[in-house]
Structure formats: C-alpha cells, structure tokens
C-alpha cells in the first residue's frame, strides 16, 4: 500500500481576494517558496499574479447574467471598423483537428488589408508557439510566431512573471509543447511524455519518492496521462512547501479530429484537483493573464480588441473579463440552441456562423 506523509498543505485555500481591474493587471509579486510572511494558517500565500490567474469565472458568469441577449452579426464592417485587433481562438474557429474551416484564409486577408492586428490564442498546450507556427504554415496560412499565444507559452510566461526561482524544478503533466516553452524560458523540468510509460506496481510497504526541489506542477492536456503522473504530481503539490499547482486550461473537451469532441485538459486537471483538494492557477482562457500579457506586449487598449471564439465559458469569458468586444462563432463546440438556452448566462456581444461571414456580410452591406 502506498504511504503518503501528511502535510499542512493538504488543506485547500479559503481566501477570496477581490479581482483587479479587467483592463490592467497589477505588477506581479516576486515568488517565494518559504518565509513566515508567506504563510497563513499553514497555507502558502499566493502571489498577486496568482490571484489574477484565479479570477472567478463564477463572478464573471453572474455579471453576464444581466447582459442582454447576443445580437446576430448583421454589419461586419461596423464591427471591423470599431476595433484595432482581433484575437482568434484556433480550435473550432480557424480549424477543426487538422482541417481548415472554409473561408478562413480569405477572411484573414480581408482583416489584414484593413490594417487590423491579428492574434491567435489557443488553450491547447500540446504544441509550442514554434510548432503552432508550422501547423499554420501546413494549412496554408501565413502567421508569424509572435502572433501566436498557446497556453503552453502562458505557463512559462506566468512563471517568469512571478520570478519563479531558476534553481527550482517544474513537474509537467502534459505534452511536448509545455516542455519546449519551459526550456526556452530557462526553467528546469521533469515529467512530460517520458513518464507516460511509467507504472506503479503496488505491494505492501511501497513508498513513492518524489523530487523535493519541484516548486511547481504544470498540468495540461496529456494523451499519455496515467496513475504514476497523478501520484507524482500529488506528492509534489501536497508535500513540497509552496509548490504551485498550475493548469494550462480546464477545457472539458477538445477537437483532436473534426469527427467528434474528445475529453480535454480539464480531465487531467480534475484528477489533480481531486487528489490534492487544491484549486489550480489557470493561465489559459478565461483567466486574464494572457489578455494582460498581450495588451502590454502590443500596447493595445482592451476596448479596441474583439475576441472571437467558439466557447462561451472560455473564449467569450476571456474577452469579457478583459473588457473586449466578443463574437461567438457557431463553427465549434457551441450551438445556437446552447447560446439561446435559458440556462446560459454568458452572452457575447454578437454571434455568427463562422468567421468567413465577415466576407458575405460585408458584401451584403455594400
């Protein structure tokens, strides 16, 4: 039977800090693994940047409940002219699996011809920005690496933003994209796909060791997920003082193919949530971390951004939390029936079938 040492870090945090302004995040506090000032009742205090990443989705959804119903997009030109930047989700908006959605190249060309900045943000952490650049190229799209922001990159950028110690390690439950971004950022890591073949042979007295220098566990979508990874990550989070539990996203489903939906990264995150009883710091959508990062990097005012996505609880909330205009496309996971259901409290500013409607709606208004 596995023996696990008890730790005060088993207890979940009950603090509920007030969220910062949606248009600008406060400067991140330095990361500290120890020190009495960092502890509250046996818990490790979370840096300010962590609290930004933990912004309450429930609060945002509650605010959205009072919003008017989404309007069907009728005048594409008016929306295009009202913003400087379009942020696009990828899965379900630009492509499904490895298949490009009809009309995407022409739509992106139209927006670029009007001088609009285009940014592509995905919660899928299996690839690095460079790898996503190659996917865009394979699909015939000319997109610069600097225009791509994946949650794998967000995890590394978040660690940099809190001055995560370079002498500490990151345990990764996820795929190659996270490893590549951590390496580019100069962080030590272990785990990833190589742990996919590891098994635990349970027998009386078995005790599983773990690296006490792990200061963060990053969990993303992982097709090599297994019990070894769950137990190793659990031990690090529970027993290493101050160890962070970071999730690239909590998406319920993902588009691995264009034929059906597949269990998403939220399934892997949920396993660690269940075993540690701790809420993760989510760096992907709908957390505002990436929005704040993009706004600072490009010098964008968030009111001059339109967020385009196919998911209400990630893409649209991401835009709303950041103070952007929002456009839901029905080419991905959300149907019109779901959008208009009385049970749905998340309403975008506009909705349309797919982004290529920019072309036809433009023609209809000329």
Domain at 168, CATH number: 3.40.50.1000
| Rg of the chain over all Cα atoms, to the nearest angstrom | 21
Q: Are residues 329 and 260 in the same domain?
A: no
Domain count, the chain: 2
Does the annotation count 84 as an active-site position? yes
Of the three residues 250, 284, 318, the one that is the final residue of a domain is 284
Is 142 among the domain residues? no
C-alpha angle 127/173/27, rounded to 5°?
75
Q: Are residues 276 and 300 in the same domain?
A: no
Taking 70 as the pLDDT cut, the residues of the chain under it are: 1-67, 362-366
Nearest to 178 by CA among 163, 189, 194: 189
Is 327 among the domain residues? yes
pLDDT of residue 22: 39
Is 240 among the domain residues? yes
Q: Are residues 78 and 170 in the same domain?
A: no
Is 25 among the domain residues? no
Of the three residues 284, 315, 339, the one that is the final residue of a domain is 284
Nearest to 46 by CA among 14, 3, 90: 14
Q: Are residues 168 and 260 in the same domain?
A: yes
Domain range for 263 is 164-284
Q: Are residues 265 and 203 in the same domain?
A: yes
Q: Are residues 168 and 215 in the same domain?
A: yes
Cβ atoms of residues 12 and 243 within 8 Å: no
Q: Can you tell me whether residue 76 is helix, strand or coil?
A: helix
Q: Cα separation of 125 and 248, whole Å?
A: 7
Q: Can you tell me whether residue 276 is helix, strand or coil?
A: helix
CA dihedral 184, 25, 325, 358 (to 10 degrees): -10
Is 31 among the domain residues? no
Set 74, 84, 137, 181: catalytic member? 84
Q: Cα separation of 37 and 31, whole Å?
A: 12
Of the three residues 229, 258, 284, the one that is the final residue of a domain is 284
Cβ atoms of residues 173 and 222 within 8 Å: yes
- In the numeric block, the tokens 């120890």 are attached to 34
**Residue 98 CB coordination number (10 Å):** 12
Is 46 among the domain residues? no
């Amino acid at each position: 039977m596995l023996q696990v040492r008890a730790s005060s870090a088993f207890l979940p945090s009950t603090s509920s800090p007030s969220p910062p302004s949606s248009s600008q995040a406060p400067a991140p506090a330095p990361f500290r693994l120890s020190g009495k000032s960092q502890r509250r009742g046996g818990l490790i205090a979370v840096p300010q940047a962590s609290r930004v990443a933990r912004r309450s989705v429930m609060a945002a959804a509650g605010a959205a409940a009072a919003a008017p119903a989404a309007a069907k997009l009728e005048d594409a030109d008016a929306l295009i002219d009202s913003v400087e930047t379009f942020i696009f989700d990828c899965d379900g908006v630009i492509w499904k699996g490895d298949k490009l959605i009809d009309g995407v190249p022409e739509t992106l060309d139209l927006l670029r011809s009007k001088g609009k900045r285009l940014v592509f943000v995905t919660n899928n952490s299996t690839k690095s920005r460079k790898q996503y650049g190659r996917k865009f190229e394979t699909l015939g799209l000319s997109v610069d690496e600097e225009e791509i922001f994946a949650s794998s990159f967000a995890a590394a950028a978040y660690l940099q933003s809190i001055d995560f110690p370079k002498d500490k390690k990151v345990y990764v439950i996820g795929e190659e994209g996270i490893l590549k971004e951590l390496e580019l950022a100069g962080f030590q890591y272990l785990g990833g796909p190589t742990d996919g073949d590891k098994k635990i042979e349970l027998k009386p007295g078995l005790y599983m060791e773990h690296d006490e220098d792990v200061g963060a566990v990053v969990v993303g979508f992982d097709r090599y997920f297994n019990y070894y990874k769950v137990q190793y990550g659990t031990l690090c989070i529970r027993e290493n003082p101050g160890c962070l539990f970071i999730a690239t996203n909590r998406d319920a489903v993902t588009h691995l193919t264009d034929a059906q939906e597949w269990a998403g990264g939220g399934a892997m995150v949920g396993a660690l949530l269940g075993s540690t009883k701790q809420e993760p710091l989510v760096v992907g959508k709908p957390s505002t971390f990436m929005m704040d990062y993009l706004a600072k990097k490009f010098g964008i005012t968030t009111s001059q951004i339109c967020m385009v996505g196919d998911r209400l609880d990630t893409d649209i909330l991401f835009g709303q939390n950041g103070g952007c205009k929002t456009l839901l496309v029905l080419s991905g996971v959300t149907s019109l029936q779901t959008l208009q259901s009385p049970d749905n409290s998340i309403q975008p500013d506009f909705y349309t079938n797919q982004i290529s409607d920019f072309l036809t709606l433009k023609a209809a208004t000329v």
